[in-house]
């Protein structure tokens, strides 16, 4: 039995072809890296080009939408949600990273959070605005008194789940009348796009974003973390959602820029 793929010669079914190739390779006990390299050369020998789907530009919220979204968060008067959403907005961490942040990962003195084993199993640090420090400190104090280990835990003393965080964002997006989907990734894209509009170079954004390519690493490895943090601190005060702290949820909204 043969398999065909459009016009051209008949092809051996893929699984059978794999068994045939395995007979030649099994004695060499190949690992994944070796097989990957072999098939890269095989593609070259056969003149097979790798086809990749074109990358779509990520959806980026407008500042007006971010203001409306956060206004809905503020009006709900849920302090834990305010802090969680601000942490996403200010740091640009992925949701999988957010839910693994432990209290000991937060350095209030330097205004940085350590992300352990992020995407690609890499560690990095991300900044947050100095004006957000007091808010985080009070949240951490309350969490510690409750015996928490993670920065964000449910009433059942368990870290938030990916799904739980997404449900929180969806609830506020609906309350704000925003029809577009708002996910942790949406907030992440907004932060990095906004930093770019403030004139911050990619080389300063990259250490916090968690993105890395062979080419970029040659550039970023020469940058001091302190330089990146200084530029972040210089502009974050103009972010659409201010990091200023208010001790009470009063009538006004001190967290929105004018």
**8 Å CB contact between 60 and 190:** yes
Q: Where does the pLDDT of residue 181 fall: very low under 50, low under 70, confident under 90, or very high at 90 and above? A: confident
Enter the tokens of residue 184. 């942790």
pTM check: above 0.85: no
- Secondary structure of residue 70 in the 3-state scheme: helix
Report whether pLDDT(109) > 90. yes
Instruction: Tell me: pLDDT of 6 over 60.
Output: no
**Would residue 55 count as lying in a domain?**
no
Tell me, yes or no, whether 245 lies in a domain.
Answer: no
- Tell whether 105 and 35 lie within a shared domain: no
For residue 251, pLDDT beyond 70 = no
User: Are 141 and 74 part of one and the same domain?
Assistant: yes
Could you tell me the two tokens for 172?
Answer: 């506020």
Instruction: Look at residue 100 and tell me if it is in a domain.
Output: yes
Residue 255 belongs to some domain of the structure: no
pLDDT at residue 248 tops 70: no
Whole-angstrom Cα distance, residue 57 to residue 48?
Answer: 27
Q: Could you give the CA distance from residue 177 to residue 172 in angstroms, rounded to a whole number?
A: 9
Task: Check whether residue 28 and residue 152 sit in a common domain.
Answer: no
Has residue 38 been placed in a domain?
Answer: yes
Answer whether residue 149 is part of any domain. yes
Report the C-alpha gap between 162 and 69 in whole angstroms: 20
State the residue range of the domain holding 219.
63-236
Report how far apart the first and last C-alpha atoms of the chain are (Å, whole number). Answer: 71
Contact in structure between 36 and 26 (CB atoms under 8 Å): no
What is the average pLDDT across 195-223? 60
Q: Are residues 26 and 86 in the same domain?
A: no
Residues 6 or more apart from 105 whose CB is under 8 A from it?
113, 114, 115, 116, 151
**Cβ neighbour number for residue 38 with a 10 Å cutoff:** 14
Residues 138 and 204 in one domain: yes
More confident call, 181 vs 104? 104
* Neighbouring-strand partners of residue 159: 153
Q: Give the C-alpha separation, 42 to 37, whole Å.
A: 9
Name the burial class of residue 233, with classes exposed (0-12), middle (13-18) and buried (19+) by CB atoms within 10 angstroms of its CB: middle
Q: Provide the domain count of the chain.
A: 2
Among candidates 161, 55, 150, 172, which has minimal Cα distance to 104?
A: 150
242 versus 61: the higher-pLDDT residue is 61
- The four Cα atoms 104, 107, 108, 113 give a dihedral, to 10 degrees, of -100
CA atoms within 13 Å, Cβ hemisphere of 110: 13
32: number of Cβ within 10 Å: 7
Confidence of residue 173 (pLDDT cuts 50, 70, 90): very high
Residues 106, 227 within the same domain: yes
- Residue 78 CA to residue 172 CA, distance in Å, equals 11
Confidence of residue 208 (pLDDT cuts 50, 70, 90): low
pLDDT tens-digit readout, 60-92? 788 899 999 999 999 998 999 999 999 999 999
User: What tokens appear for 243 in the block?
Assistant: 């990091």
Residue 210: per-residue pLDDT? 67
User: If you count them, how many residues does the chain have?
Assistant: 258
Give the pLDDT confidence of 19-44 residue by residue, as tens digits: 988 888 898 888 998 988 998 898 88
């Amino acid at each position: 039995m043969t398999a065909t793929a459009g016009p051209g010669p008949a092809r051996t079914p893929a699984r059978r072809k794999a068994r045939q190739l395995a007979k030649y390779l099994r004695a060499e006990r190949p690992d994944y890296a070796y097989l990957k390299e072999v098939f890269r050369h095989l593609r070259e020998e056969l003149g097979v080009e790798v086809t990749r789907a074109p990358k779509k530009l990520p959806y980026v919220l407008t500042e007006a939408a971010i203001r409306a979204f956060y206004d809905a968060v503020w009006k709900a008067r849920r302090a834990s949600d305010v802090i969680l959403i601000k942490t996403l907005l200010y740091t640009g961490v992925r949701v999988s990273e957010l839910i693994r942040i432990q209290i000991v990962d937060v350095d209030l003195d330097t205004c940085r959070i350590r992300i352990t084993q992020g995407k690609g199993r890499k560690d990095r640090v991300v900044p947050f605005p100095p004006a957000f420090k007091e808010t985080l400190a009070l949240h951490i104090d309350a969490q510690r008194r409750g015996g928490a280990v993670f920065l964000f835990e449910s009433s059942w003393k368990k870290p938030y789940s990916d799904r739980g965080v997404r449900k929180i964002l969806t609830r506020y997006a609906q309350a704000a009348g925003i029809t577009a989907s708002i996910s942790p990734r949406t907030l992440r894209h907004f932060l990095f796009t906004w930093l770019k509009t403030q004139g911050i170079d990619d080389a300063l954004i990259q250490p916090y974003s968690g993105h890395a390519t062979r080419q970029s690493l040659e550039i970023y490895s020469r940058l001091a973390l302190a330089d990146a943090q200084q530029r972040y601190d210089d502009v974050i005060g103009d972010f659409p959602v201010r990091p200023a702290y208010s001790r009470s949820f009063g009538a006004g909204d001190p967290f929105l820029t004018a």
